[in-house]
Amino acid sequence: MAFESSAETERFLCERLLDAAQPIAERFRALFSLRNLRGDGPRRALLQAARDPSNLLAHEAAFALGQMQDAEAIPALEGVLKDLSLHPIVRHEAAEALGAIGLEKSISLLKESLAADPAVEVQETCELALRRIEGQKNASGAESTTISPYLSVDPALPAKQGLSVEQLRELLLNEQEKMYERYAALFALRNDGGDYAVSAVIEALGVKSALLRHEVAYVLGQLQNKAASDALSGVLKNVNEHPMVRHEAAEALGSIAGN
């Protein structure tokens, strides 16, 4: 939720975020605070951070802009998505942010990047973003305004009610299924939150798609269920795992430990 801040506080946070001499933890604290603000200053700072030499900070800044659903950020986010000199994890978050903002003006570029971006994780994210924009357009009023119980803007709307946890598990783990449907099953399982649902989410750490695995780790961080600790620790220790999956596993373990 956005809140009012003094001009001095806003300026301090923007400067702290963009000061490369600051410890990364301090810069992240500033980023998380700016995510709760609105206006040109926070937007400009986050957009500048989305091109920071630290891929970790840059991808988090792009993610924050998507969570803010700031339409004014679209042109710069599109520039990030098109810039193949940037790390795929940053381009991926720019595509996800465009999907989260959800305006049809982004469809053309998302389609271009789906076809042309060399990174599989970026292609898959563009596919998700396109499906999310289309889903929002076709959703009923109640569906389109549904708020996540975790107050996050998710890359896919949760699968519609009526599917059992076992059906959702099978959908999530089905390697032949479309990525959007698997994401929708993931968020429905998260919202269920029961032991069997959590077990199904943990099982999905073994799927083939690195993009989906990273989202599974993110969801396990949201759930903050200690039953996931061992599996997430295994992901973090696996040096052959995709860096964005290990990153999300580390963040999830931090969330669980702090619960």
Ordered per-residue pLDDT tens for the chain, 259 residues: 444 568 899 999 999 999 999 999 999 999 999 999 989 999 999 999 999 999 999 999 999 999 999 999 999 999 999 999 999 999 999 999 999 999 999 999 999 999 999 999 999 999 999 999 998 877 655 555 566 888 899 999 999 888 999 999 999 999 999 999 999 999 999 999 999 999 999 999 999 999 999 999 999 999 999 999 999 999 999 999 999 999 999 999 999 987 6
My answer on whether 241 and 171 are in the same domain is: yes
How far is residue 86's CA from residue 170's CA, in Å, rounded to a whole number?
35
Q: Look at residue 6 in the predicted model and tell me its pLDDT.
A: 86
How far is residue 155's CA from residue 179's CA, in Å, rounded to a whole number?
11
- Return the CATH number at 87: 1.25.10.10
- Are the C-beta atoms of residues 190 and 150 closer than 8 Å to each other? yes
Q: Look up the domain containing 218 and give its range.
A: 165-258
My answer on whether 134 and 28 are in the same domain is: yes
Name residue, tokens 């299924």. Answer: 177
Containing 45, the helix (H) or strand (E) segment is helix 40-49
User: Does the CA dihedral 247-63-31-190 come out positive or negative?
Assistant: negative
Residue 219, in any domain of the structure: yes
My answer on whether 125 and 230 are in the same domain is: no
User: What tokens appear for 161 in the block?
Assistant: 């009610």
Residue 160, in any domain of the structure: no
Start-to-end CA span in the chain (Å): 21
pTM: 0.90
C-alpha closest to that of 115 among 95, 85, 138, 93: 95
CB-based burial label for 250 (10 Å; 0-12, 13-18, 19+): middle
Q: Look at residue 258 in the predicted model and tell me its pLDDT.
A: 74
How far is residue 59's CA from residue 65's CA, in Å, rounded to a whole number?
10
